[in-house]
Amino acid sequence: MSALTPLLTASELFPRGVLPYLLGGLLVGLGAAVIYLATGIIAGASTFLESTLSYVSDVPRFNRFKYVRSRGWRLVFTAGIVSGAAVWGLVLAPDPGIWTTDVQWWRLLGGGFLVGVGTRLGKGCTSGHGVCGTGSLSNTSLVNVATFLTVAIGTAQLVQALGVSP
């Protein structure tokens, strides 16, 4: 009985198992590691937003040297992310094909807006701070991750409690 309890608990906490998560995480880290080892660049996904805005906006903030200089490779990095996901989702997955979300459009748009504001103000996102920052034990990143994780859990629980689904 006492030996079974942890197993039952584990399957409740991980209804889809842990393997795809662990494998996916290791590959996400590997992608960042390949770029870092070859170029010395710490890859974050959210600076793409600002650097790409420099193509279409005159606002000086988006046209600072570091954004204009990096906007080319950031487009290539993002194209890589899109196509890498496509290779899995459309070709190699057990059930290949287009998948679409049921999360309502206003949640995506409003949430996306806040993600855009917050990652830029907070200097990074789940890849810059969450993967690369925590990997290098940066205090700034650890504080940022602890903050966004806590607030996101609170927000998601609140939205669920209000009966919004999906």
Partner 1 sequence: MTGNDRSPLFLPVIYLGGLIFGFGLAISGMARPEVVLDFLQFDDLGLLFVMGGAAVVTGITFTVATRYLGDAPLTGREYTRRLKDFDRNVVIGGAIFGVGWGLSGICPGAAYASFGVGNYPILYAVAGMFLGAYAQGYWRARQSNDADAADATSG
Q: Restricting to residues 53-72, which ones interact with partner 1 according to CB under 8 A?
A: 53, 57, 59-62, 69, 72
* CB nearer to partner 1: pick between 8 and 16: 16
**In sequence order, which residues have a C-beta less than 8 Å from that of residue 32 and are 6 or more positions away?**
42, 43, 127, 131, 132, 135
Q: Does 150 bind partner 1 (CB under 8 A)?
A: yes
Contacting partner 1 within 27-56 (CB under 8 A) = 27-43, 45-46, 48-50, 52-53
Taking the C-alpha atoms of residue 161 and residue 165, their distance in angstroms, rounded to an integer, is 10
**Contact predicate 90/97, CB 8 Å:** yes
Q: Does 157 bind partner 1 (CB under 8 A)?
A: yes
Contacting partner 1 within 105-124 (CB under 8 A) = 105, 107-124
Is the CA virtual torsion 24, 26, 29, 33 positive or negative? negative
Q: Does 98 bind partner 1 (CB under 8 A)?
A: yes
Q: Does 156 bind partner 1 (CB under 8 A)?
A: yes
* CB nearer to partner 1: pick between 7 and 13: 13
Q: How many CB atoms lie within 10 A of CB 157?
A: 10
Taking the C-alpha atoms of residue 70 and residue 83, their distance in angstroms, rounded to an integer, is 20
Query: How many residues interact with partner 1 (rule CB under 8 A)?
Result: 122
Among 3, 5, 7, 16, which residue interacts with partner 1 (rule: CB under 8 A)? 16
Among 1, 4, 132, 162, which residue interacts with partner 1 (rule: CB under 8 A)? 132
* CB nearer to partner 1: pick between 1 and 58: 58
Q: Does 15 bind partner 1 (CB under 8 A)?
A: yes
Cis ω for the linkage preceding 166 (within 30 of 0): yes
Rama region for 148: left / alpha / beta (φ>0; ψ in -120 to 50; rest): alpha
Q: Does 166 bind partner 1 (CB under 8 A)?
A: yes
